[in-house]
Amino acid sequence: MIIRFWGVRGSLATAITARQVEEKIRKVLELATPADLLSKEAINNFISNLPFSVRGTYGGNTTCVELQTNDNRTIVIDAGTGLRALGNALMARGKMKGHDEMAFFFTHSHWDHIQGLMFFVPVFIPGNTLHFYSCFADIEARLRYQMVTTHFPLTFDELGCTKVFHHFTETESVEVYGLQVSAKSVRHPGGCYSYKFRQPNGKTFIFCSDAEFNLATMDDIGPYIDYFFGADILVFDTQYTFEESLQKIDWGHSSAAIATDIAIRSEVKKLVLYHHDPSYDDDKMDNVLLQAIKYKSMMAPRHPLQIVAAYEGLELEL
């Protein structure tokens, strides 16, 4: 399975500004030496060794993650603004051009998780079939509601593809394109679900965004530890710093420190920090990742947990 990240921002899409681009250029020039510019090889080597916040960007699109199964079937988690670019990429690969199908899993229906659907080109093409899975029984009504003419020029019924809705609960699982998928509800205003995808070889990928875990709940999370236990990759909500999370109880999000504690206790192999706050620039995100790695080294120096921060374009293989 290949996991690709198309949107990693939480709450609101946030584009990089001209001022921020200028600051990146300034930092590059300050760090460069004449030797770094002698050849293309020297330039490439110099760029590859720059901090990620200088040579790239974490991205500003909201929640959208693509799973490509081992037999080249497509599953998408949430339809944030990152979905627009994913749709273009799928069609460039020769998929979803009127003779294909794919599946969506919706964690919940806040705007930052659904507003990309209307800009997803394959949804307009007759002959495509989109399967929508959710633990919310009324997910169809929720998607229809954002596409009334007071909100958008087209209605849900004017989308050209075939739309099939599937509802399942936490007490059951579904098989989709060879993966066994189960769910668990998490604390978030209006409700939200985490999804676990298990491959036939037993490897598991868990997506747990928009989930609030805090100090008050850490003594009573046994069922969640069982759910996360042994995951090969865990994508986890880390929108706030630990200090911010203490001031934002019941806002529905977690911190990197809490995520790291949970991942260690759950024997997770790789933790992916996700759902970045819209106010965080790339420098702040570098620092969030660095602090999480330092915290893990302090709390469990011998634990093999790997920690990475999600960014648009990140690909992981499972």
Q: Please, are residues 151 and 120 in contact by the beta-carbon 8 Å criterion?
A: no
- Please report where in the chains the tokens 């659907």 appear, as a residue: 117
Q: What is the pLDDT of residues 65-75, one digit of tens each?
A: 999 999 999 99
pLDDT (0 to 100) of residue 219: 78
pLDDT (0 to 100) of residue 167: 97
pLDDT (0 to 100) of residue 202: 96
CATH number of 2-13+57-317: 3.60.15.10
Partnered with residue 129 across adjacent β-strands are 101, 162
Residue 105 to residues 17, 132, 164, 168, 197: CA-CA distances in angstroms?
A: 32, 6, 12, 11, 11
Q: Where are the alpha helices (DSSP H) in 126-230?
A: 139-145, 222-228
Cα–Cα distance measured from residue 204 to residue 183, given in angstroms and rounded to the nearest whole number: 13
Q: What is the pLDDT of residues 220-257, one digit of tens each?
A: 899 999 999 999 999 999 999 888 988 898 899 999 99
pLDDT (0 to 100) of residue 217: 80
Q: Please, are residues 152 and 118 in contact by the beta-carbon 8 Å criterion?
A: yes
Q: Which residues of the chain have pLDDT under 50?
A: none
pLDDT (0 to 100) of residue 218: 82
pLDDT (0 to 100) of residue 103: 98
> Is residue 313 packed enough to be buried (19+ CB in 10 Å), middle (13-18) or exposed (0-12)?
middle
pTM value? 0.96
DSSP 3-state of 198: strand
Domain spans of the chain, in order of start = 2-13+57-317, 18-55
Q: How many CB atoms lie within 10 A of CB 270?
A: 18
pLDDT (0 to 100) of residue 50: 95
Residue 58 to residues 108, 277, 280, 287: CA-CA distances in angstroms?
A: 23, 11, 10, 12
